[in-house]
């Protein structure tokens, strides 16, 4: 079995941001030479996530509004007693989750017709990393 690992770094301009990363993941899969296997895409921070969905701007806004409704910014989070002010960012990341696994077939991501991979940042404006691990034959 082959394994190939790369890292990406993000430094978003906004506090919350959703970044389409499918082309970068496709390039890493091609570079790996893996024809049959899987790729793990994992945010390495507890206030960021990775998800698969449609690359449609209205849907991305809907996701952002949904997350803000479920985990709104508020001063009363117990986490803020530690001196932090990003309790909502931790909760949003839990809802999105921190990683996805995507199958690779014939050397390509085996996504559905509308599926795309996104990095979701909930506490941005600083450097954050993501690991991409391609595994297979």
DSSP track, 64-96: HHHHHHHS---TT-GGGGGT---HHHHHHHHHH
What local confidence, expressed as pLDDT, does residue 28 receive? 98
The pair of structure tokens assigned to 35 is 């024809």
The CATH number of the domain covering residues in 2-136: 2.60.120.460
Q: Name the residue ranges covered by the structural domains of the chain.
A: 2-136
C-alpha gyration radius of the chain: 16
pLDDT tens-place string over residues 23-77:
999 999 999 999 999 999 999 999 999 999 999 999 999 999 999 999 999 999 9
């Amino acid at each position: 079995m082959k394994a190939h690992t790369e890292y990406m770094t993000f430094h978003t301009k906004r506090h919350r941001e959703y970044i389409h990363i499918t082309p970068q993941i496709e390039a890493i899969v091609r570079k790996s030479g893996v024809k049959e296997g899987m790729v793990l895409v994992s945010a390495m921070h507890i206030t960021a996530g990775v998800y698969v969905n449609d690359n449609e701007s209205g849907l991305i806004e809907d996701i952002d509004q949904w997350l803000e409704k479920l985990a709104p910014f508020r001063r009363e989070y117990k986490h803020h007693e530690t001196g932090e002010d990003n309790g909502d960012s931790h909760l949003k990341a839990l809802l999105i989750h921190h990683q996805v696994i995507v199958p690779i077939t014939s050397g390509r991501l085996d996504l559905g017709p509308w599926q795309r991979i996104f990095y979701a940042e909930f506490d941005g404006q600083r450097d954050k990393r993501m690991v991409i691990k391609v595994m297979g034959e």
